[in-house]
């Protein structure tokens, strides 16, 4: 029974009792009885009017509550002509306008946010994905919205799905791009919903790493070069004492000096390799036909490929125009990539190169038929000075990363769908 019904029943019962009492008391006085009945009717009418006046704002409160629970911030109430009720209606309408404006501003902020934001509905389907999140996911327009996140077969989506409630992680994709992913929840209509925030840290971490290893290399190179120069001078001075030695010992003495000098030369060359990364000049950008550059690389590497019995399949694109780049530096990049592909194959394999133009950019892919990248390596391949080779220094891909980052080109190295690994360059 509603409150309105209870009040009406109460008024009816009370007035019925008073009517019965009046009839029993004033039955012998007709004039007084008629007066009492008039008073009862007026009281009943007044009670009904007061109930209606009190019920109207209650209805408004109930309707407004339902509208806000449903997230409807567009409905307004019309004035009723009662000053007190109209004042409450005015306050409600202004509050609804404020909530609607706040939600609109919030939606605009989410859409324009440089951080990726992705929310799920109560069933775990993606209900909102802003432009940044769509870009980080590398998903076609409309591909993610409305689908269960677990059913979105994209690398970053899989990483988001693996996050526990309230958890966060730094995810590395394409060997170089790093994202901080956070999973949290908010309450909507009294029930929790999940949302994700995605921030790309690639540029910040790259700048931090570069500043750290540049400082380390400069300090190390300075100390090693000073030591090498001093030790070399001492060894050369010691070599002048060879004629004073016993003839039987001169050969071993000179051999020892030569070995020591050779090791110093190797150490000097070793440190120069690291120093070259620090001293890498800014690219001198000039228009360059990437196809012609790849042709030259294949000619240069041709004898080594033939010696390993590795075929190079070159698919050219006739409409790939010039790109703005530093030819010498990009040549060094492609040499390192083709050399890595060749070493991954070993012997008897294939390297496929493809060049195509799309949306004002040129994309070059180099795919080898090697074993591909182990899972433990995929997230670290562009880590400075990281190498899987026994005697490797990790300089090749470090130089590749430095050159391409300075060019502001998009690039990645990952496993190919059909096996092997694929390097992709977009400029």
In this prediction, residue 27 carries a pLDDT of 59
Could you tell me which residues come within 8 angstroms of residue 165 by beta carbon, excluding any fewer than 6 positions away?
A: 183, 185, 194
Listed ranges 25-29, 161-165, 312-316, 378-382; the one with the highest mean pLDDT: 161-165
Q: How confident is the model at residue 309 (pLDDT cuts 50, 70, 90)?
A: very high
Q: Which two tokens stand for residue 353?
A: 């190169």
| pTM for the structure as a whole | 0.57
Lowest-pLDDT choice from 50-64, 267-281, 359-373: 50-64
Residue of 24 and 114 predicted with greater confidence: 114
Q: What is the mean pLDDT of the chain?
A: 77
Q: Where are the beta strands (DSSP E) in 260-401?
A: 286-288, 310-315, 323-325, 349-358, 361-368
In this prediction, residue 284 carries a pLDDT of 86
CA–CA distance, 39 with 335 (Å, rounded to integer): 107
CA–CA distance, 421 with 341 (Å, rounded to integer): 8
Question: Residues 82-102: what's their mean pLDDT?
Answer: 72
**386: three-class secondary structure by DSSP:** coil
Lowest-pLDDT choice from 67-76, 113-122, 168-177, 295-304: 67-76
In this prediction, residue 421 carries a pLDDT of 87
Element (H, E) at 195: strand 191-200
Q: How confident is the model at residue 400 (pLDDT cuts 50, 70, 90)?
A: confident
User: CA 281 from chain center: how many Å?
Assistant: 30
Q: Which two tokens stand for residue 324?
A: 């703005």
Terminal Cα distance for the chain, rounded: 73
Q: What is the DSSP string of 266-288?
A: HHHHHHHHHHHHHTPPPP--EEE
Share of the chain above pLDDT 70, in %: 70
Q: CA neighbours within 13 Å on the CB side: how many for 131?
A: 8
Give the closest residue to 176 by CA, choosing from 414, 426, 418: 414
Question: Residues 208-213: what's their mean pLDDT?
Answer: 74
User: How does 204-225 read in b/e, with b if 16+ C-beta sit within 10 Å?
Assistant: ebbeeebeebeeebeeebeebe
């Amino acid at each position: 029974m509603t409150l309105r019904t209870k009040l009406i029943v109460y008024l009816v019962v009370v007035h019925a009792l008073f009517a019965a009492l009046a009839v029993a008391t004033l039955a012998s006085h007709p004039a007084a009885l008629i007066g009492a009945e008039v008073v009862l009717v007026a009281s009943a009418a007044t009670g009904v009017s007061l109930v209606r006046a009190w019920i109207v704002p209650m209805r408004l409160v109930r309707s407004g509550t339902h509208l806000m629970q449903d997230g409807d911030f567009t409905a307004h109430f019309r004035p009723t002509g009662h000053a007190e009720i109209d004042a409450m209606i005015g306050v409600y309408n202004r509050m609804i306008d404020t909530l609607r404006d706040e939600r609109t501003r919030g939606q605009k902020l989410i859409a324009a946010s440089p951080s990726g934001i992705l929310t799920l509905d109560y069933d775990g389907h993606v209900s909102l994905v802003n432009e940044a999140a769509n870009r980080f996911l590398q998903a076609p327009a409309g591909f993610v919205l409305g689908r269960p996140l677990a059913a979105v077969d994209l690398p970053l989506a899989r990483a988001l799905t693996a996050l526990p409630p309230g958890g966060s992680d730094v995810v590395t994709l394409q060997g170089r791009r790093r994202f901080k992913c956070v999973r949290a929840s908010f309450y909507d209509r009294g029930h929790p919903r999940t949302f994700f925030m995605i921030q790309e840290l690639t540029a910040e971490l790259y700048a931090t790493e570069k500043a750290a290893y540049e400082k380390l290399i400069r300090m190390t190179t300075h100390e090693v070069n000073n030591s090498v120069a001093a030790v070399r001078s001492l060894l050369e001075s010691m070599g002048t004492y060879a004629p004073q030695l016993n003839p039987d010992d001169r050969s071993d003495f000179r051999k020892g000096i030569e070995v020591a000098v050779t090791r110093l030369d190797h150490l000097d060359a070793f440190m120069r390799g690291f120093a070259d990364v620090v001293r890498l000049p800014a690219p001198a950008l000039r228009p360059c036909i990437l196809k012609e550059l790849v042709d030259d690389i294949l000619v240069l590497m041709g004898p080594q490929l033939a010696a390993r019995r590795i075929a190079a399949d070159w698919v050219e694109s006739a409409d790939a125009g010039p790109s703005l780049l530093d030819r010498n530096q990009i040549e060094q990049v492609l040499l390192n990539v083709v050399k890595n592909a060749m070493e991954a194959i070993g012997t008897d394999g294939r390297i496929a190169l493809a060049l195509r133009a799309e949306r004002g950019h040129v994309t070059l892919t180099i795919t080898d038929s090697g074993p591909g990248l182990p899972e433990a390596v995929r997230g670290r391949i562009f880590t400075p000075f990281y190498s899987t080779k026994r005697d490797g220094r990790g300089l090749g891909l470090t130089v590749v990363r430095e050159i391409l980052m300075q060019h502001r080109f998009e690039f990645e190295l990952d496993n190919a769908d059909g096996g092997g690994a694929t390097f992709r360059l977009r400029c």
